[in-house]
Structure 1
Amino acid sequence: MRLTDILIKSLKVPATGQKTHFDDALPGFGVRVSQGGTKSFVVMFGTRRRLKTIGRYPDLSLAEARREAKRVQVDAATAIAALPRDEPVPFDTARDRFLADSKLRHKERTHTDYDRLLCRHFSFSKDMDTLTRADIVTAVEKLAATPSEQQHAFVAVRAMMNWCVKRGILDHSPVPALTFRSVTRSNVLSDPDLKAVYNRAVATGYPYGSIVQLLILSGQRRGEIAALRRSWIEGDLIVFPAGFTKNKREHRCPLSPLAQRLIEALPEIGDMLFPARGVPDHPFNGWGKSKERFDKPLEVAAYTLHDLRRTFSSNLARLGTPIHVTEKLLNHVSGTVSGVAAIYNRYSYLDEMRAALMLHDEYLAKLTAD
């Protein structure tokens, strides 16, 4: 079949698992439909016919997905042939090639993380075919005092070595199987830091500053806010469709008065509130550089955007919000109302959620007042 927008919209959801429909116009390119209703573009490439997910429909348009699929197939066909096979490849050269490829294939944040981790923690003055497991383990064990950084660094070097194996630079990856103690993320912004971040967001404005404001006001995930559409807003509710949210369930989240006023003041440039630059039907994705510019004048403890969600939850607890109401706002399904109780308890808690958000607005207004 030749994929069209009308055809993709009409594809039936499978009862179980997922089904992929390939495009006659571009062999190896298709759309995969899951039982939860999610539709994702995929592309098959390389001699091993690997399948890669490109992006979700309709966040990514059909035309953009076709272009990206063709680029992936062409890059896969030319990358292997371009690499030397008969002469040693220095580690630095292999790392540079991996990072150049990563910049084309991965999200900006992923590429930035790989670049930082590999250049900071792995520097070997030797050829790739002389690298040993001991070399890798020694470099990774130096990071034992910072478990989270250690785990991220290990993932980065493992990805690089697997990339080298697939391109014939290595016969086998020298990265051993390692396990790390889990690191529980527990960072919550202090009141002074939250005030500084919120006021900076107000001053920064659209789009990144407005996104940060909504994250603080609503407690939602950054991907959910970045992809927010006007068609999902019904009165004072955001209705995130089933299949879009992390748990694949429809999420009805009230907007606080501050959040409503913020959204009303946003520029009307289409259905998507925060489109990517130059791509109006794709959500905002300039996280790395935007946060770097945003944080530069701030004198606050290191934080991530997800910490704003955790701070929102903690502050609701301080304000006396019952945990089950907070979990409703956060769209958690494995908390206090779960299992059999969740099946029988269909009460929406919308009034309680609105009351909690009103208290949170009042708290923020007092906190951020000069």
Structure 2
Amino acid sequence: MAAGKLKLTDALVKAIEPAGSQSEFVVWDTEVIGFGLRVRARSKTFIVTYRPAGGGRGVNAKRFKIGSPQSIPNVREAHRLALATLGRVAAGGDPAAERAEERRLAQSTIRDLLDRYDVHLRRRGHVKRTDTLSLLRRRLKPLLRRDIASVKAWEYAEIIERLDLATGGTGGATFRTRCSTFLNWATFDARVLETNPLAGYRRKRDTRQERVARVEFGRALSDVELSAIWRTADPETAFGRLVRFLVLTGCRRSEGSRLVWSMVDLPKGRIDLPATFTKQARGHTVYVSPMLNDLLTHQAENSVVSDFVFPSARTGGPMSGWSKAMDPSDKRTAGGTRPGKPGLVKASGVSFTLHDLRRTFRTGLSRLGVENEIAELALGHARADLEARYNRDDCETALRSAFLAWDRHVEENIRDATSAPSVFN
């Protein structure tokens, strides 16, 4: 059958065969003007054609899909839907544009866009993907069902200010950085925003008191403090061994928690972190000192079966829940009929963060006389100009000596602190 005008009936709709070799044709109904049956190679669809109200004949006609014969029970119901659609047009509506907007909204909620952003970061091998998405989903939770285009800049600013108040300024800055990067992606990659609402946001200038507090927030620990933390970190738990690992290596928390056994070569005395694993996106080698060798050997013998060196005791996957493990506010022991075990901060008597162990490692190497260039390489701050000053063998020898010197310092510090009275015992 070719295109034309006929009175559409249930029998006729059923009798019309798909278009076959033809691209498509339309059988227009003689009773409802603008209503017809579009027939394609493998499908049949009821449609309505119209021009948006006020446009006149100078505006191109639009076709609006009502449904298929499978979804609409009969032609009579299709007539009713067609007339309702044309009524919306007469009242000034544009059904096709409205449906397109509905589809856009369905794909433009913050929840859906975060899922797409997750796929984007995974494809790019983003090292901090899990942490980034977790932070964004938690902080943007009240807005997840909203169309991202409807969220105003002041709403993001309110979240940042609340985090600044709760964390002394650090939480807001971290969220702003990661959220702004997400919004840039939504603007230029997903193309659902005209501009990034945070593009012009600037953090308020710190007062002198805030600058002092910020400097004091991150620090290198004293030998007494480091010894207290080491002795408090329970060597019979994966978390305790992870803390001791961070003390000995200066690795980042994420590098230790996601370390897998395939990266560890104890016979050769080295741990090779791949480029996709580290923050600086370059491979980094940690050389295994005697205490670290004992720690890893003990971990291999006592850990649950897992690819991860320091797996979560609950899931067997990467360790998480740092706030609860550290518990600087001591919420675990407050209230309730069965107070929880104190976090590492209270149990050790030292106010610190896990990143302070990395600062302590770097400061300690300098105090032990390790050259700045080698100390930077030991920390993973590799740069071409640093590596160029050493050939491969000399660099490895110097790095092994640096890790060994720090190992001996930690061991002596622990032994001296153990033999002397301590307020932390």
Place the TM-score, normalised by the shorter chain, in its bin. Answer: 0.5 to 0.7
TM-aligned CA deviation for residue 320 of structure 1: 4.2
Q: 1:233 to 1:139 in 2, by over 3 A?
A: closer
Q: Is the 8 A contact 1:200 1:294 kept in 2?
A: no
TM-aligned CA deviation for residue 285 of structure 1: 1.9
- TM-score, length-scaled by structure 2: 0.48
Deviations 1:86-134 (A, max 9, x none): 5998xxx956777788899896533442245336xx889x986654445
Q: Specify the SS of the correspondent of 1:240.
A: strand
Aligned to 2:360: 311
Whole-Å separation in 1 of the counterparts to 2:104 and 2:276: 46
1:214 to 215, 235, 245: 245
1:233 to 262, 265, 279: 265
Deviations 1:129-163 (A, max 9, x none): 65444554566567778553333232454467578
Q: Specify the SS of the correspondent of 1:178.
A: coil
Percentage identity across aligned positions? 19
Deviations 1:335-362 (A, max 9, x none): 9x71642458834223454234212321
Q: Could you tell which deviates more after superposition, 209-218 or 341-350? A: 341-350
Q: 1:241 to 1:168 in 2, by over 3 A?
A: closer
Aligned to 2:171: 149
Q: Is the 8 A contact 2:238 2:310 kept in 1?
A: yes
Q: Is the 8 A contact 2:186 2:192 kept in 1?
A: yes
Q: 1:359 to 1:197 in 2, by over 3 A?
A: closer
Is residue 260 of structure 1 aligned with residue 293 of structure 2?
yes
Whole-Å separation in 2 of the counterparts to 1:264 and 1:139: 45
Aligned to 1:24: none
Q: Could you tell which deviates more after superposition, 357-366 or 314-323? A: 314-323
Largest Rg, 1 or 2: 2
Aligned to 1:177: 199
Aligned to 1:273: 309
Query: What is the Cα-based RMSD across aligned positions, in Å?
Result: 5.1
Whole-Å separation in 2 of the counterparts to 1:135 and 1:339: 46
- TM-score, length-scaled by structure 1: 0.54
Whole-Å separation in 1 of the counterparts to 2:136 and 2:325: 20
Q: 1:193 to 1:172 in 2, by over 3 A?
A: farther
Which fold has the larger relative contact order, with Cα–Cα distance below 8 Å and residues 6 or more apart in sequence? 1
Q: Which amino acid aligns with 2:366?
A: A
TM-aligned CA deviation for residue 366 of structure 1: 2.9
Q: Is the 8 A contact 2:378 2:402 kept in 1?
A: no
Q: Could you tell which deviates more after superposition, 317-326 or 270-279? A: 270-279
Q: Specify the SS of the correspondent of 2:287.
A: strand
Count of aligned residue pairs for this structure pair: 277
Whole-Å separation in 2 of the counterparts to 1:173 and 1:238: 47
Aligned to 1:47: none
Aligned to 2:232: 200
Q: Specify the SS of the correspondent of 2:299.
A: coil
Q: Specify the SS of the correspondent of 2:362.
A: helix
Unaligned runs of 5+ in 1: 1-82
Whole-Å separation in 2 of the counterparts to 1:130 and 1:273: 44
Q: Specify the SS of the correspondent of 1:202.
A: coil
Aligned to 1:248: 282
Aligned to 1:71: none
Is residue 363 of structure 1 aligned with residue 394 of structure 2?
no
Whole-Å separation in 2 of the counterparts to 1:218 and 1:333: 15
Q: 1:150 to 1:366 in 2, by over 3 A?
A: same
Q: Which amino acid aligns with 2:269?
A: L
Q: Which amino acid aligns with 2:229?
A: V
Whole-Å separation in 1 of the counterparts to 2:179 and 2:271: 40
Q: 1:362 to 1:331 in 2, by over 3 A?
A: same
Residues 25-40 of structure 1 mapped to structure 2, 5 A cutoff: none
TM-aligned CA deviation for residue 175 of structure 1: 0.8
Whole-Å separation in 2 of the counterparts to 1:139 and 1:301: 30
Is residue 338 of structure 1 aligned with residue 386 of structure 2?
yes
TM-aligned CA deviation for residue 235 of structure 1: 3.7
Q: 1:321 to 1:219 in 2, by over 3 A?
A: same
Q: 1:109 to 1:242 in 2, by over 3 A?
A: closer
Q: Which amino acid aligns with 2:416?
A: K
